Chains A and B, each alone.
Chain A
Amino acid sequence: MKITLLLPPGEYLKNLTQFITGFKEEVFLFTELNEEALKTLEETDILISTPFFPLRKNILERMKNLKFVQVASTGYDHIDVDYLKSKGIIVSNVPDANDESVAEYVIMVALAFLKRFEYSLNSTRKGEWVLGELANTTYDLKDKIFGILGMGRKGKALAKRLINFEVTIIYHDIRKLNEEEENKLGARYVELEKLFQYSDIISIHLPLNETTRNLVNINLLKMAKNNCFIINTSRGEIVNVNDIIEALNKGIIAGYATDVYSKEPPEPDDPLLKHPKVIVTPHQAGVSKDATMRIAQKSFSNVLLFLQGGKPINQV
């Protein structure tokens, strides 16, 4: 059996050694999808994949030995699951290992926006004492209305943490939670338009599909409060970039934070990167060192389970 890992480059890879060396099987690690990687994939039985390397049908067709794909993330829209399933290849993901990381990230950027953290930090470093200005232009999270778009695992992890900030939590999802779940989370269902109409902050936690692509467009944004701040940690394509730029420029909304882009890394001239009302980060929300280790541990455990003849968990 051959196992291939397609992972983005970085220091964190050192931490994976303990897992990789534990296998008796041949293990190959690639950090870019070059010719050598493609050649290895052709003979691979088990693939550990991440959203950083899209694998469409034309590549997957060449992987004649492939039996199991372990996606080392929650999202799996980078890979042609329908094709793999048609070939009887099992696909699993890790749906819950970084929920907490994403939730913490969302709270961090929400606070950074409300407290004007970047401006405060930069001014103070430059020797400018902007206390008076900040006293009149920064806000608390307490008592704000926090809208969660998509109440899956990540949305719930966020709600669970937000409640201690004494915010009002509303959410929209294709599936309304039952009353007991709502009571536990302290979150109430509202229609999509109402979510935009009421919220001071909106965090998006949706999967990318044909229904959600470009869901956040100018029509929806026009319903938002002009102090509204939107956070996207799900997929870049869910938010229409031109529309969000327009909404920011016209003062329809106050700010946008994105951790995700339709192309990653984004082109240097991507309008989001330089916009003064946009907070940008490199798809880091769910990949802290802690989360990475949890994802690795769950991914490798599932591969081991498959190798031992077991049925992998979290099949998609």
Chain B
Amino acid sequence: MKVSEAFFDLAYNLKVNRVYGNPGTTEIPLLKSLNESKIMYILALHDGLSVGMAEGDYYYSKKAQIVNLHTVLGLGNSISFLFSALKNKVPMIVTIGQQDRRHSYYEPLLYGPNEEIVKPVVKEVLCPFVAEDVPKMLMRAHKVANTYPYGPVALILPMDMMDEECGKIEKIETNEFIFGDYEEMVNEIAEEINSSNNVAIVVGHEIEIFDAENELVEFSKKLRAPIYKEPLCSRGVIDNSNELFVGELLPASLMINQALANYDLILLIGGNFTLYPYFPFELLKDKKIIELSYDYKETTKNNWKVYICNVKNVLKKLCDLVIPKNFKRDEIKEIKLFSKAATVRNQMGIEYVFYRISKFIKDETIFDESISATMTLKDYLPIKPKKYFAARTGHLGWAMPVATAYGIVGGDAIAIIGDGSFNYSSQSLWSAKRYNANTSFIILDNRGYGILKSYSLARYPELLESDWLSPETNAEKIANSYGIEAKSVTTPEELDNSISWVLNNKEPRLLRIEIDRSIPKLF
């Protein structure tokens, strides 16, 4: 059996459904053995987008798919997407083509140091030396990618190796994890909780990754303590209408310290304190913090008590042991948001736009890359577990391909994206059209880079007039050129009909909303 045949034979058995890529000559020897009746090849018009699409696929299918990158150049194009997949803990197998080994000494065209380049942005790099290794390494890559913390695993495949002979793998093995019953640990944590007067719960992405949403709700109901989300939370985690949910922490030590100042115990459950702008304040100094996480690498950054565990199991057990506190959240939070939205209606302020969008959203999954508007989005839109995704990296151009693939493989997606972000990956629209993605694209057009303007306003106001902060393009026209139905809306009077138009459709559509271009005060 040829290596290329053994590769896909195993891929079929691993239940891989799709290969994403934009191939070059170095990948053709592998792809010639792909049986498209078993695994579909989905074409992206840019290598990086194929990584993003595999990520979107995972969010719907819960399966690690294959990404097929075109040697060093395709890899180079994909670095930011791989980095996001790594940080977002999304498993995928990334094959990277390599030049024919027989003349690699000469460093021919398309030859490159793939292993060195990819290493920092994947969980592991596997480089088979002999043909026999390829199926074994695919198996290993699949295991590594699917072992928590999940992430992309690279497999570098020289093109000449694809036609060599090798054996096939008959038996599929997976790693199974057996978690202890945590009895001692749980009792210890419960004791700490019960001896504290004022407890805050801070939750993060692991809640969703370990399917612990129900356990979190039950635990918090029992404890009746306020729930915060980790800063820049990339997942839905908890319904934002939950009676104990207070909001998301801001990604700065000063803001986190202020928000949690009054609590004598902070339970950090499956999340991180991601920081963004620098403040010269130590994070949560002298605070009692208990962290539950399975990501031992992340937790080593912290100087507080950490329990490495499956948060689902621990939360379940804690429910029976904690004594209730008496937190009540602001009962008129929703009315406050409504009033704020009404204040900015006439100028198409972002609060008003999101408020109206919230009236039309049903059960769609939100892919958020609204950047300067993301905190507002999280206040106004219905955020639910497994129905909200964002990049943990600040990656621009991420949401377009991710939402596209989610809509292609069976999900109902809404991508909410700034005009700046849209221009990084607008080619996703071609794939959306070609594969009929059930994805609605909403472009919030403030005619420039809102986040940069906000930062400049706070630190370097002299830069605000710089031309390079305000590139203007027209997403509607770009969408039309890819054959996507699109329209623009500029006034509050037209807004509702336009939102309804873009959302109530099974085919991809794009709505460009001209929002208030006032600079938000985010820093």
Q: Which residues of A contact B (CB under 8 A)?
A: 145, 163-164, 166-170, 183-188, 190, 198
How far is A190 from B339 in the complex, measured between Cα atoms in Å? 14
Whether B341 and A168, one on each chain, are in contact in the complex, defined by CB atoms closer than 8 angstroms, is no
Residue in chain B with minimal CB distance to A167? B339
23 example contacts (A-B, Cβ-Cβ < 8 A) are as follows A145-B332, A163-B342, A163-B343, A164-B343, A166-B343, A167-B339, A168-B335, A168-B336, A168-B339, A168-B340, A170-B335, A183-B345, A184-B342, A186-B338, A186-B339, A186-B341, A186-B345, A188-B335, A188-B338, A188-B339, A190-B332, A190-B335, A198-B331
Whether A169 and B331, one on each chain, are in contact in the complex, defined by CB atoms closer than 8 angstroms, is no
How far is A12 from B341 in the complex, measured between Cα atoms in Å? 42
Give the residues from 317 to 340 in chain B that come closer than 8 angstroms, CB to CB, to chain A.
331-332, 335-336, 338-340
Q: What are the residues of chain A within 8 A of B345 when measuring CB–CB? A: 183-184, 186
How far is A145 from B338 in the complex, measured between Cα atoms in Å? 12
Known: A170-B335, A188-B338. 7 other contacts (CB 8 A): A145-B332, A163-B343, A164-B343, A168-B336, A184-B342, A186-B341, A187-B342
Q: A178 → chain B, closest Cβ, in Å? A: 15
Whether B339 and A187, one on each chain, are in contact in the complex, defined by CB atoms closer than 8 angstroms, is yes
Give the residues from 338 to 366 in chain B that come closer than 8 angstroms, CB to CB, to chain A.
338-343, 345
Q: What are the residues of chain B within 8 A of A170 when measuring CB–CB? A: 332, 335
Residue in chain B with minimal CB distance to A165? B343
Q: What are the residues of chain A within 8 A of B341 when measuring CB–CB? A: 186
Q: What are the residues of chain B within 8 A of A198 when measuring CB–CB? A: 331-332
In the A-B complex, the 3 residue pairs with the closest CB atoms: A186-B342, A168-B339, A168-B336
Q: What are the residues of chain A within 8 A of B335 when measuring CB–CB? A: 168, 170, 188, 190
Chain A, interface SS category: mixed
Q: A70 → chain B, closest Cβ, in Å? A: 37
Q: Could you say which of A184, A188, A190 has the most chain B C-beta atoms within 10 Å of its C-beta?
A: A188
How far is A308 from B144 in the complex, measured between Cα atoms in Å? 93
How far is A93 from B331 in the complex, measured between Cα atoms in Å? 40
Q: What are the residues of chain A within 8 A of B338 when measuring CB–CB? A: 186, 188
Q: What are the residues of chain A within 8 A of B332 when measuring CB–CB? A: 145, 168, 170, 190, 198
Q: What are the residues of chain B within 8 A of A188 when measuring CB–CB? A: 335, 338-339
Residue in chain B with minimal CB distance to A179? B359
Given contacts A198-B331, A198-B332, whether A185 and B342 have CB atoms under 8 Å apart is: yes
Q: A180 → chain B, closest Cβ, in Å? A: 10
Q: What are the residues of chain A within 8 A of B342 when measuring CB–CB? A: 163, 183-187
How far is A168 from B337 in the complex, measured between Cα atoms in Å? 8
Chain B, interface SS category: helix
Q: A201 → chain B, closest Cβ, in Å? A: 14
Residue in chain A with minimal CB distance to B334? A188
How far is A185 from B346 in the complex, measured between Cα atoms in Å? 12
How far is A184 from B331 in the complex, measured between Cα atoms in Å? 22
How far is A100 from B374 in the complex, measured between Cα atoms in Å? 38
Whether B343 and A186, one on each chain, are in contact in the complex, defined by CB atoms closer than 8 angstroms, is yes
Q: A188 → chain B, closest Cβ, in Å? A: 4
Q: A141 → chain B, closest Cβ, in Å? A: 12
Q: A265 → chain B, closest Cβ, in Å? A: 37
Q: What are the residues of chain A within 8 A of B336 when measuring CB–CB? A: 145, 168
How far is A169 from B343 in the complex, measured between Cα atoms in Å? 10
Q: What are the residues of chain B within 8 A of A190 when measuring CB–CB? A: 332, 335
How far is A251 from B280 in the complex, measured between Cα atoms in Å? 42
Q: What are the residues of chain B within 8 A of A186 when measuring CB–CB? A: 338-339, 341-343, 345
Q: What are the residues of chain B within 8 A of A183 when measuring CB–CB? A: 342, 345
How far is A50 from B457 in the complex, measured between Cα atoms in Å? 55
Q: A126 → chain B, closest Cβ, in Å? A: 38
Q: B491 → chain A, closest Cβ, in Å? A: 14
How far is A185 from B339 in the complex, measured between Cα atoms in Å? 8
Q: B163 → chain A, closest Cβ, in Å? A: 66
Q: A221 → chain B, closest Cβ, in Å? A: 19
How far is A55 from B384 in the complex, measured between Cα atoms in Å? 63
Q: A218 → chain B, closest Cβ, in Å? A: 23
Q: B496 → chain A, closest Cβ, in Å? A: 10
How far is A187 from B336 in the complex, measured between Cα atoms in Å? 9
How far is A166 from B344 in the complex, measured between Cα atoms in Å? 9
Q: What are the residues of chain B within 8 A of A166 when measuring CB–CB? A: 340, 343
How far is A187 from B332 in the complex, measured between Cα atoms in Å? 12
Q: A170 → chain B, closest Cβ, in Å? A: 6
Q: What are the residues of chain B within 8 A of A184 when measuring CB–CB? A: 342, 345
Whether B339 and A163, one on each chain, are in contact in the complex, defined by CB atoms closer than 8 angstroms, is yes
Q: A227 → chain B, closest Cβ, in Å? A: 15
Give the residues from 32 to 91 in chain B that come closer than 8 angstroms, CB to CB, to chain A.
none
Residue in chain B with minimal CB distance to A143? B336
Q: B329 → chain A, closest Cβ, in Å? A: 13
Q: What are the residues of chain A within 8 A of B339 when measuring CB–CB? A: 163, 167-169, 186-188
Q: B102 → chain A, closest Cβ, in Å? A: 71
Q: What are the residues of chain A within 8 A of B343 when measuring CB–CB? A: 163-164, 166, 186
Residue in chain A with minimal CB distance to B341? A186
How far is A167 from B341 in the complex, measured between Cα atoms in Å? 11
How far is A198 from B328 in the complex, measured between Cα atoms in Å? 14
How far is A164 from B346 in the complex, measured between Cα atoms in Å? 11
How far is A188 from B340 in the complex, measured between Cα atoms in Å? 12
How far is A198 from B339 in the complex, measured between Cα atoms in Å? 14
How far is A271 from B494 in the complex, measured between Cα atoms in Å? 54
Residue in chain A with minimal CB distance to B339? A168
Q: What are the residues of chain B within 8 A of A169 when measuring CB–CB? A: 339
Q: What are the residues of chain B within 8 A of A168 when measuring CB–CB? A: 332, 335-336, 339-340
Q: What are the residues of chain B within 8 A of A185 when measuring CB–CB? A: 342
How far is A166 from B331 in the complex, measured between Cα atoms in Å? 18
Give the residues from 285 to 320 in chain B that come closer than 8 angstroms, CB to CB, to chain A.
none
Q: Could you say which of B331, B332, B339, B345 has the most chain A C-beta atoms within 10 Å of its C-beta?
A: B339
How far is A164 from B345 in the complex, measured between Cα atoms in Å? 11
How far is A167 from B340 in the complex, measured between Cα atoms in Å? 7
Q: What are the residues of chain B within 8 A of A163 when measuring CB–CB? A: 339, 342-343
How far is A92 from B364 in the complex, measured between Cα atoms in Å? 55
Q: What are the residues of chain B within 8 A of A167 when measuring CB–CB? A: 339
How far is A272 from B92 in the complex, measured between Cα atoms in Å? 75
How far is A163 from B340 in the complex, measured between Cα atoms in Å? 8
Q: B385 → chain A, closest Cβ, in Å? A: 28
How far is A59 from B395 in the complex, measured between Cα atoms in Å? 80
Interface string of B3-19 (1 = CB under 8 A from A): 00000000000000000
How far is A184 from B345 in the complex, measured between Cα atoms in Å? 8
Residue in chain A with minimal CB distance to B338? A188
How far is A103 from B152 in the complex, measured between Cα atoms in Å? 61
Q: A182 → chain B, closest Cβ, in Å? A: 8
Q: B413 → chain A, closest Cβ, in Å? A: 28
Give the residues from 155 to 208 in chain B that come closer than 8 angstroms, CB to CB, to chain A.
none
Q: B158 → chain A, closest Cβ, in Å? A: 63
